[in-house]
């Protein structure tokens, strides 16, 4: 007897059903169970992690059973963390239902939950054995959630693939191409640097400022994708004005963000901007790694003193 617990959120469960035995005929699932959690970032918490563990125990799950994460990045991160720790690790299957989960969070093995003191502070590296991509799920995505995923797609194109960037500029691509290309790009970075200590850091393009923007907006005014969009444009404008980036790149980034309904303007007052970056728990010491574009499709990592950031980004404000 082999079972699978499908973990999902209230929105996904309302809109979609997953027949695990039918979707994964080779896995030999005899029985499946369903756990529906509230939708939203707050669910990535110790409370719901514990609810997953209790459910697995009640259902007598053992190491030969599996967890299926059926949802966006929240469910993927949380269910992935549960799978990596329950009985020291049970099989994990991802069935991502948001664009972001399909091209980003279901890849690379990072799992996480949030603590009251910060996002993603507890987590593991744990790869899914199987990831099942079905673009039909995207048809029910709210436009803002779709744009959030597009921000990460634009990021991938910026740092690694000029031809993907051109396709995004023209708006001329299929969803299948978009997903396959983006997964390929992320996978290549992960393979080069599974533990995220070198090349993989390039995936943080736009994210340092993005985190400051998210924090400034109390994690409610801007979505993650919107904040990253603002971050990508700000860093590109700054690096271009500092002579590090090919001329015209910032303008192209800005236009592609507009095309996919993403913001680009940095609205944080300089003093608050500096404080949030200096207090960022994820960076220690006096310096910070800034990811910038040499040109569209080619990125570099530059170690910068935190205190010089303000003057660096000053160039990203005065139009």
- CA distances (Å), origin 290, targets 14, 139, 201, 207: 41, 35, 9, 9
Please say which residue, 75 or 316, places its beta carbon nearer to ligand NAD. 75
The smaller minimum CB distance to ligand NAD, of residues 149 and 234, is found at: 149
DSSP bridge pairs for 287? 305
In the block, residue with structure tokens 């966006």: 72
| Other CB atoms within 10 A of residue 84 CB | 20
Tokens (6 digits) for 135: 């673009």
Q: Which stretch binds ligand NAD (CB under 6 A): 67-75, 258-266, 286-294, 304-312?
A: 67-75
Contact 44, 74 (CB under 8 A): yes
Within residues 233-262, the interface with ligand NAD by CB under 6 A covers none
Which H or E element spans position 170? helix 162-170
DSSP 3-state of 231: helix
Which residue, 149, 144, 141, 140, is CA-closest to 99?
149
> Rounded to the nearest whole angstrom, what is the least distance from the CB of residue 100 to ligand NAD in the complex?
4
Q: Is 12 in the site for ligand NAD (CB under 6 A)?
A: yes
Closest CB to ligand NAD among 232 and 238?
232
Binding mask 19-58 for ligand NAD (x = CB under 6 A): --------------------x-x--x--------------
CB atoms within 10 A of CB 247: 10
| Residue from 18, 95, 128, 145 in contact with ligand NAD (CB under 6 A) | 145
Question: Which helix (H) or strand (E) covers residue 179, if one does?
Answer: helix 175-192
When the beta carbons of 97 and 236 are compared against ligand NAD, the nearer one is: 97
Examine residue 120 and tell whether it contacts ligand NAD (CB under 6 A): yes
Binding mask of the shown chain, residues 80 to 119, with x at each position contacting ligand NAD by CB under 6 A: -----------------xx-xx--xx--x-x---------
Can residue 210 be called a binding residue for ligand NAD (CB under 6 A)? no
Q: Does 231 bind ligand NAD (CB under 6 A)?
A: no
Please answer whether residues 283 and 315 qualify as being in contact, where contact means their C-beta atoms are separated by less than 8 angstroms.
no
Distance (Å, whole) CA 266 – CA 317? 7
Please give the residue ranges that form the binding site for ligand NAD (CB under 6 A). 9, 11-12, 15, 39, 41, 44, 71-75, 77, 97-98, 100-101, 104-105, 108, 110, 120, 137, 140-141, 145, 148
């Amino acid at each position: 007897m082999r079972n699978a617990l499908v973990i999902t959120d209230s929105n996904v469960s309302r809109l979609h059903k997953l027949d695990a035995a039918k979707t994964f005929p080779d896995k030999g699932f005899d029985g499946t169970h369903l756990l529906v959690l509230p939708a939203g970032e707050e669910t990535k918490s110790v409370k719901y992690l514990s609810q997953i563990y209790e459910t697995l125990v009640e259902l007598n799950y053992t190491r030969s059973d599996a967890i299926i994460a059926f949802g966006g990045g929240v469910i993927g991160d949380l269910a992935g963390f549960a799978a990596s720790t329950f009985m020291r690790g049970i099989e994990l299957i991802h069935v991502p239902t948001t664009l972001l989960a399909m091209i980003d969070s279901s890849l690379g093995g990072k799992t996480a939950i949030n603590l009251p003191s910060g996002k993603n502070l507890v987590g593991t590296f744990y790869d899914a054995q199987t990831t099942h991509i079905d673009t039909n799920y995207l048809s029910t995505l709210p436009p803002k959630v779709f744009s959030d995923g597009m921000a990460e797609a634009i990021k991938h194109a910026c740092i690694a693939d000029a031809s993907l960037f051109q396709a995004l500029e023209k708006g001329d691509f299929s969803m299948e191409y978009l997903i396959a290309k983006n997964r390929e790009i992320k996978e290549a970075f992960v393979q080069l640097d599974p533990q995220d200590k070198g090349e993989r850091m390039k995936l943080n393009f736009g994210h340092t400022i993005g985190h400051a923007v998210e924090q400034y907006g109390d994690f409610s005014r801007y979505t993650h994708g919107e904040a990253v969009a603002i971050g990508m444009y700000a860093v590109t404008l700054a690096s271009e004005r500092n002579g590090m980036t090919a001329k015209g790149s910032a303008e192209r980034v800005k236009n592609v963000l507009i095309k996919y309904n993403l913001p680009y303007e940095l609205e944080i007052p300089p003093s608050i901007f500096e404080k949030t970056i200096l207090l960022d728990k994820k960076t220690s010491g006096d310096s910070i790694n800034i990811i910038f574009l040499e040109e569209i499709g080619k990125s570099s990592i530059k170690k910068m003193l935190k205190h010089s950031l303000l003057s660096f980004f000053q160039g990203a404000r005065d139009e």
